[in-house]
Structure formats: C-alpha cells, structure tokens
Amino acid sequence: MRKWRFVVTGGGTGGHIYPALAIAQGLKRRLPQAEIFYLGTAEGLEADLVPKAGFPFYAIEAAGLKRHLTLRNLKALFRAFRGLGAAYRLLGHLSPRVVIGTGGYVAGPVVLAAWLRGIPVLIHEQNAFPGLTNRLLSRLAQVTALTFPEAARYLPRRARVVVTGLPVREEILNVCREEARKQMGLKEGDKLLLSFGGSRGASRINEAVKELIRYFRDKEGIYLFHATGQGHYESFLKELEAEGIDLGSRPNIKIFPYFYYIADYLAAADLVICRAGAATLAELTCLGRPAILIPYPYATGRHQDYNARALADKGAAVVIEDAELTGERLLSEVKRLLASPAELSRMAEESRRLGKPEALNLLVDLVIRLARG
Ligand SMILES: CC(=O)N[C@H]1[C@@H](OP(=O)(O)OP(=O)(O)OC[C@H]2O[C@@H](n3ccc(=O)[nH]c3=O)[C@H](O)[C@@H]2O)O[C@H](CO)[C@@H](O)[C@@H]1O
C-alpha cells in the first residue's frame, strides 16, 4: 500500500474538529500506511482534542477578519498572513496528496496555501447555512461536500458540490448501548439523562439543568450526567455548593467539564438535552437517541433552528426555544417524556431513521479518489 500523506484542518469548536477527526480516522482505517497531519491553532479546542486522538498536530496562526478596517482587524490581517506563510511552508515540507478542510478560521490559510501549491482540496460544510470560511474556500476546492443540500444555494456557482451528510466518528458509529450501560453500572429500567451545551458548553443550559439536579437528586433509578463546558465547570460546582447541594452523596448525578469519550454516554442515554449543532445532531441520529434541543439563537443565519427543526418535524426531538428556556420548563418536558416510554421509543426510532452513518465512507471515498488524481 502506498504511503500517502494527508493534511486535515478545521478548528475552533468541536463542530468543525470532530468531522475532521472522523475523516482522518476513516482514512487511517482504509489506508493504514497513510500519514495524517492536523493543522490547527494553539488556542482552539483542536489543540486539546487532536493529540488525544493520536494525530500529529501543528499549530499555525489564524484570525477571523471583519468587513471594516480597524486596528484590531489590521492585526488580524497580519496574523492571517503569518498563518498563510506557516501553512505554505508546512505543506511544502509534508507534501500531502490531499488537504481536507472542515471550516473555522484556521481552514482559511491552510486551504489557500494548498491551492497556491496546487494540492487538491476537499472541504466539508456541516451546516445548512455555510460559514464564511467555507463560502470563500469553496471557490478553491476540488470538492465541496455538504451535510444539507440547501447549503449549495449560498455557495458560489463554480463550487463543485457533493451531498454526503456529516461524517460521524467510528467510535460513535460502533458503540454498543448495552455494553456502555453495563460499564456505567446502569440497571435495566434505570433512566439516563445526558445534558450538555455545544462543545464549549452553554450557560443557559447549565442554569436550567440546575433545576433537574434539584429535582432528580433524590430520585431512585434516574441518572443525570451533565457537561458544563470547560470554562463553566468551577463556577457551576461552586453555585451548587452555595445552594447546599453536595454531589458527593448523590451517585446518580455526575457533573463533568467535558465528555472526552462521549460515544458511551450518548449510546447509554435515554434522553439527551443539548444545543442543535450539526455534529451533535448527526451523532444523535446515527445512534437513534431522542432529544430535547435548545437551538443556540445567535448561530450564523440561525442555522441551529434549521438543524433542530429537521429532527423535530419528524418527531425525533422536542424543541425548546432559548428565549423560553427555564429550569421549570425543561423539568416539565423531561418529566413528561420520562412518563411516556412509548413516546420516547417512537422518538428514538424516528431519530435513527434520520441518521446517515454512510457519510463517513462517502467522504473517505471522495478523498481517496482525489488522492489518486
Ligand atoms: C454556537 C455555534 O455557532 N455552534 C456551532 C458549532 O458548534 P459546536 O462545536 O458546539 O457543535 P456541534 O454540536 O456540531 O459539535 C459538538 C461536538 O462536540 C462533541 N462534544 C460535545 C460536548 C462534550 O462534552 N463532549 C463532546 O465530545 C459532540 O459529540 C460533537 O461532536 O459548530 C457546529 C458545526 O459547524 C455548528 O452546527 C454549531 O451551530
């Protein structure tokens, strides 16, 4: 087998990083000899997640540019140029067959450098409303892979578009629910509620989840595992402590800063409460998990509303608008669903029907085709 090299880039939030890691892992499984390198920024979540996933990581500079000229923007422009120079040199050194970009600021300089060097590029857009980086980069890419066909409307006409769905990590595609529940000590009939914001947490969801903690902390057979997001963890625990809630004595409630191995938690959950980022929803539907979704209202073009609707319209999820989110509202929705196992299993079935586990293989095929020229 040929020892091809690939460069993967995409960063800032988990929503860009995990699809990139999924493709990297899929490529590695298909081409075990291949070498795969990840280019990201030192400040993004990728600097933490990529080394944990076992891929060599190179940090370059990148910055988001605004339309108007300010001193800050000039500095950003300067960093972007430095990032472009670093990416250009690294690509020269690594000489990959293909560069794969999944959006976020950092994909800008890396894909541009690939184009300057004549290296084929595939980009993947996760949302129905494409981010600025991918809108610009789709002009330079040999292939622009989409999760939603609707995204094509916002791309330049010369973009070469393929609809693949969103690539989900193999560890999530292959996880076994029974095994995961057993490992967590859950008995048959126990209910696991899993809650988190997006990859960076969400203070609005943290606040509402406190009501679930107050209510469920002394309920037998109901478990609640919540990730606050790295930045909110300490303050969240302090606030609970100030209320006199001692979690040490409550084995059914567990608070994490972040779920590093979310596959088991997602698979084991009976109901998931989260935002409506595209990667999370692709994972929920591949696993067929029912959810209460609270779309982040400030996402570009309100794309999380669109993502959430796609599940809610088919009966796979219930949506609570962020503006209407309170602890009481969330608790009453959770209680209603837990009291209706038939509805939960119907939601689970509809959710699974929406899953596109084949997206990963489609993307790996496309990358290999590009690599072959
Ligand atoms: C606020 C905002 O604009 N968010 C965007 C961002 O979100 P964000 O990064 O939050 O979005 P996603 O929901 O798409 O992805 C989160 C990823 O992090 C993982 N995860 C999350 C929490 C945790 O504790 N552990 C863990 O592993 C999830 O399994 C998932 O793979 O990128 C997504 C993809 O472009 C967009 O759809 C979102 O709208």
Instruction: Read off the pLDDT of residues 141-178 as tens digits, 9 standing for 90 and up.
Output: 999 999 999 999 999 999 999 999 999 999 999 999 99
Instruction: Give the mutation target among 280, 285, 302 for probing the ligand 1 site: most ligand atoms within 8 A of CB.
Output: 280
Answer yes or no: do 9 and 129 share one domain.
yes
| Nearest C-alpha neighbor of 39 from the set 54, 56, 52 | 56
Residue list, annotated binding site for UDP-N-acetyl-alpha-D-glucosamine:
13-15, 127, 169, 199, 304
Under a CB-based contact definition with an 8 Å cutoff, are residues 9 and 273 in contact? no
Q: Which amino acid is at 248?
A: G
Answer yes or no: do 70 and 96 share one domain.
yes
Answer yes or no: do 160 and 111 share one domain.
yes
Answer yes or no: do 285 and 328 share one domain.
yes
Which atom of ligand 1 is closest in space to residue 280's alpha carbon? 13
Tokens of 185: 């000590």
Answer yes or no: do 55 and 70 share one domain.
yes
Measured distance CA(40)–CA(118) in Å, rounded: 21
Answer yes or no: do 48 and 157 share one domain.
yes
Answer yes or no: do 11 and 109 share one domain.
yes
Answer yes or no: do 105 and 209 share one domain.
no
Is the C-beta atom of 14 inside 6 A of ligand 1?
Answer: yes
pLDDT at 111 over 60: yes
Answer yes or no: do 313 and 336 share one domain.
yes
* Other beta carbons less than 10 A from residue 130's beta carbon: 29
Answer yes or no: do 27 and 158 share one domain.
yes
Backbone φ and ψ for 362, nearest 5 degrees, come out as -60, -45
User: Please, is 259 exposed, middle or buried when counting C-beta atoms within 10 Å of its C-beta (0-12, 13-18, 19+)?
Assistant: middle
Tokens of 341: 């196992």
Place 249 in a pLDDT band, splitting at 50, 70 and 90. Answer: confident
Helix, strand, coil percentages for the chain (3-state, nearest 5):
50, 15, 35
Under a CB-based contact definition with an 8 Å cutoff, are residues 5 and 34 in contact? yes
State the total domains in the chain.
2
Answer yes or no: do 103 and 143 share one domain.
yes
Torsion of CA 212, 218, 219, 224, to 10 degrees: 40
Ligand 1 centroid–CA 277 distance in Å is 5
Answer yes or no: do 146 and 205 share one domain.
no
Q: What is the pLDDT of residues 179-211, one digit of tens each?
A: 999 999 999 999 999 999 999 999 999 999 999
Between vectors from CA 180 to CA 208 and to CA 22, what angle results, nearest 5°?
A: 80
Residue 62, domain extent: 5-168+357-372
